[in-house]
Each structure stands twice: as structure tokens, then as C-alpha cells.
A and B are shown apart, each in its own frame.
Chain A
Amino acid sequence: MGFMSDLIGKIIKAVAEWVDRCLPQYEPAVWNDGGTTQSCNNCYNYGCDIQTNDYAQPGHAHGVYLTPPDDLACGPVTAGAVADGLVPTNFGQGCGCSDCHHQVALVIRPNADYHWYRKDRDGRWSHKMAWTQATNLDNSGNIITDPRTADRGSYTVFCGCFCVDKSKVTISGYGC
């Protein structure tokens, strides 16, 4: 019994440590400072959980430059994100726990803009629109449990999900 309980305890501890280390916590105050962090980090920064303070754009750090409005479609934005190190995955499959990564989702307002959501430690999703505050609510004021069905306004196209391993992802933008 002692061996089993020790083993179970170690497994629980390892899982808890992995969760702490790898999955972002919904902590809006970290982003909603009213200053540079809030103003200069957009949905892509928030989704990746990486503050660059330069309004990161998918692909920019790796020489892939999106040209609005034509490039604002699933294909080009996905290509930019993949160049940055994001790995496509299925919504239901998620990112597993073999590596240290969290899940994000890409949506598009065709030929106008893109937007990212991220899955937090609590299993819910949150997002941050440009200079506005990070939130876990959708346009209807509901907590986001599934970005596919959330009220996304005119961002009607759900492109898919990606895994973000922060140690393997590099993002940057044009400045702020």
C-alpha cells in the first residue's frame, strides 16, 4: 500500500507540475495593466502567451508577412503561424501532455482580420482583442467553453486549432 500511495502521489505531483509549467492560467490582470502590456500585445501574443510588446503578427518573426486584406484568410495566417512554430491539431484531439504546450484556435473575418483564442488551465478559453482587456467572455457575455460555438461576431470562419510550445515558438511584430 505504501508503495502504491507513494507512486500515486508522485504521479499527481508530476501532473500538477506539468499543468503549472505548461498550461496558461487565466490571469487577466497580467495583461490588463492599462499600459504597454495591454496596448502593445494583441490576440496573437495572448494566444501564444508571449508578451513581445510589438503587436505580433503570424509569420513576421520568420519572414512571412501577411498583406491585408487578401492574406487575411485561413491559409496565409496558418502558414505564418506554422512558420512561427505553432503546430496544427484537431480541436478534440488537443495537444496532449507528451510535450509542454497549450492549445489555441484561429478564427477569421474574411479579408478583414484574424483572431486567436487560447485554452487555459481551467479548460475554458480566453482571448484579447488588440489593445482591449483580456477576457474569457464572448460577444454575448458568455464564458467561452468552445470557440467554435462562441459568439464571435463577424469572425465567422473557424480555421482550426494549434499547439503552442512556448520554448519552440518565436513571434514578433511591426512595433507599437
Chain B
Amino acid sequence: MSDNKKGEKRKTIVVEIGVFSGRKNPAFELDPDAAKDLTKRCREVIGRKAIHPPPPPKLGEFYGFAVSVPKTLQKDLGLPELIRVFHGVVTTVEDRKEAHWKDEANIEGHLEKLARRYDRGEFLDLVGYRGAGDGADSAKGR
């Protein structure tokens, strides 16, 4: 998730799809336009409406998207280094502290569309992902 150990500094946002346990999860890098759009959505959510943590993950099921923001972009974009999105909850991680925000911008649905656009949809289908609607709906009810 972090910049690699060979000294190469990653300059793009990477989205990892949480579907596996041992095997490396599928991931994709965002192009500048997609990164800009995602940043806008994240800003609409982070710091707005605090919510409880997402439900515990289950083996063999989708357990969220992890958005990794390289150090070189964190300040410019105003985003934390790691954002997890699952079940209608956006979790930010900064200095090892987690905060949870209600996904009112449907970031999860947006990431699902991006995953399919980047040809990673098969992995969502593999675990029977039913779409962000469930997560957003359940978050509204809490």
C-alpha cells in the first residue's frame, strides 16, 4: 500500500479491492481525472458526518476498497494516506488513528464503477458483491 521499497515514489492514487486473504488483492491506479473526481467526493464526506465503524469483514466476501494516497499528493489533495470504504462507511487513517464518516457521496458506488472500468469487475463478481446500495442504505438507517 505504501510507496515501494526501491525508492520509487508513486505519484498516483491506488485503489485496492478487498476480496482475498492470502493472495494479493487486485488493485488499479487512477488516472488524473479519476483522481480529481474521487478527491472531490472524499472532501464532501471526510470531516462531515461521523458514524460508527463498518461491520466486521467476512472471509470470502467483499470487505471494502482501500484508497492509498502517495505522500507526494496528500498535501496537495488534502487527503489522508489511507481511506477505506465499506458498507456505507468511509474510514480515514492518519497517524494510525481511524475516523469513520458516513458515505453520503456514494464513494463506494463510484469506486465500484471505477473497478469495472479498470477491468477488475470479475473480482467483485467472484465474491458476489451486490453493489454499494446495500451499504449506503444500511448506513442511512443507523
Contact = CB atoms under 8 A, between A and B. Distances in A.
B104 to A, nearest CB: 23
Contacts of B16: 131
Interface size class of B (residues with CB under 8 A): 20 to 34
Most chain B CB within a 10 A radius of its CB, from A40, A115, A130, A173: A130
Interface in B41-73: 56-61, 63, 66
A139 B59 CA distance: 6
Interface stretch (A10-18, A88-96, A148-156): A148-156
Given A113-B21, A115-B21, A116-B22, A131 B61 contact: no
B25 interface: yes
Interface size class of A (residues with CB under 8 A): 35 or more
Contacts, number: 87
Contact of B57 (A44, A113, A129): A129
A123 interface: no
Interface in A65-95: 66, 68, 72
Interface of B: 1-2, 4-5, 16, 18, 20-25, 56-61, 63, 66, 82, 93, 96-98, 126-127
12 contacts: A33-B96, A34-B93, A34-B98, A39-B66, A112-B20, A112-B126, A113-B23, A116-B22, A131-B1, A132-B18, A174-B24, A175-B5
